[in-house]
Amino acid sequence: MSKSNPSEVKLAVPTSGGFSGLKSLNFQVFVMIAAIIAIMLFFTWTTDGAYLSARNVSNLLRQTAITGILAVGMVFVIISAEIDLSVGSMMGLLGGVAAICDVWLGWPLPLTII
């Protein structure tokens, strides 16, 4: 059996104030969130509320979906420590070739992907 020394026991002391969670938040993250909110408020104000409409939000999500999918793929490359700049240039080249094959040449989507 082991005996515990009373001097080694540490008690959790609650922090005071409602902003204790913000102290642990990284300042850079806080600044980025504040900047995003400021940009959204600016565009909402300049477009008379059309910026946050369902149609515009859907359009923004649709436009960023492809970049998001490519970014998720790059996360696996970065996590595996196989960081290579040629991967980014290949993604750009193949994205352009796929767009040309799909739009200009009229290839069906499965053939374009292959």
CA-atom Rg of the chain in angstroms? 25
- Residue 9: what pLDDT? 57
Residue 64: Cβ within 10 Å count: 11
pTM, entire model: 0.48
| Domain definitions of the chain by residue range | 84-114
Per-position DSSP letters for 35-60, written without gaps between them? HHHHHHHHHHHHTTT-TTSHHHHHHH
Task: Please give the helix or strand (H or E) that residue 108 lies within, else none.
Answer: none
Q: What are the pLDDT tens digits along the chain (114 aa)?
A: 556 565 555 555 555 555 666 566 688 899 999 999 999 999 999 999 888 899 999 999 998 998 888 788 888 887 887 777 777 788 789 889 999 999 999 999 899 888
Q: Whose CA is closest to 98, among 66, 58, 75, 63? A: 66
